[in-house]
Amino acid sequence: MKYLNYCVLLLLLIGYACDNRKDAFDGQRTKIFLQKIGQTDLTTDLKDSVKGSNVYTCNYSLSPNASLVITSNMVKGHANISILNGKINISPQDTLVIIDFSVSDNGTISKATVELVHFKNLSPVAVFTVTKSGYKIHIDASGSYDSDAKYGGKIVNYDYEISPGSYSVPSTTLNSIDYSVSSVGDYIINVRVQDKDNQWSQFVATSVTIN
């Protein structure tokens, strides 16, 4: 009986030692991590979006063996992919793209996934106010916005038209202007804006009466 207990104890110790050795060895296996540009958090499940013809770029890191080769596997959709110098560049061809990136270290595979929603550029919207003082008209279009501002879109140009008189200020970076009319009457003011992807909004019109 004492011999049996000794054997059981020995087997438990051997199993414990093997598990510890395996855990220590697995801790040295190379793993892949992804990181959004401008952020510090590392992840193995990166979800983001990209619009138009823009190329999506994220950082990657391999630890501890940074020299291993990364392979990519398209899970959903189509995209052009380049992997170089710590960065992954993706040019999506479909609305939804899911890609697995992996490294193999002595038979153990580490995987990280990128899921990208790809959408067309959203139109900017012209919003403006008009105030008057005598014969002077002030147009303020600073309230205009790009519909995809949360994805980096922004207004870069403004286009003002005032009639009658055929006054026009096309493609200016000024978000407000002043204009002095020469006589009393009704004036039509048209404003449109352009985003950084070169798309113009529809003209928005309003009227003002000088009396």
Residue 7 counted as domain residue: no
| For the chain, percent of residues with pLDDT exceeding 70 | 87
Same domain flag for 203 and 173: yes
Q: What's the whole-number average pLDDT of the chain?
A: 87
For residues 56-67, give the mean pLDDT.
94
Q: How many domains does the chain have?
A: 2
Which residues contact residue 181 at a Cβ distance below 8 angstroms, ignoring those fewer than 6 apart? 135, 136, 137, 162, 165, 187, 210
Same domain flag for 113 and 40: yes
Q: Which residue has the tokens 């012209």?
A: 126
Same domain flag for 137 and 186: yes
In this structure, are residues 161 and 167 in contact, taking their beta carbons and an 8 Å threshold?
A: yes
Residue 16 counted as domain residue: no
Q: Which residue has the tokens 């990209």?
A: 50
Q: How distant, in Å, are the alpha carbons of 76, 118, 119, 140 from that of 93?
A: 11, 8, 10, 39
Domain of residue 155: give its range.
124-210
Q: What is residue 23's predicted lDDT score, i.e. its pLDDT? A: 44
Same domain flag for 110 and 135: no
Same domain flag for 114 and 128: no
Which residues is 167 bridged to in the sheet? 162
Distance CA 24, CA 13 (A): 16
Distance CA 95, CA 64 (A): 35
Same domain flag for 34 and 115: yes
Distance CA 9, CA 5 (A): 6
CATH number at residue 57: 2.60.40.10
In this structure, are residues 210 and 181 in contact, taking their beta carbons and an 8 Å threshold?
A: yes
Q: What is residue 70's predicted lDDT score, i.e. its pLDDT? A: 96
Residue 19 counted as domain residue: no
pLDDT tens-digit map of 119-160:
888 899 999 999 999 999 999 999 999 998 887 789 999 999
In this structure, are residues 59 and 84 in contact, taking their beta carbons and an 8 Å threshold?
A: no
Distance CA 58, CA 53 (A): 16
Question: Cis peptide leading into 92, omega within 30 of 0?
Answer: no
What pTM, to 2 d.p., does this model score?
A: 0.59
- Among the candidates 92, 119, 146, a domain finishes at 119
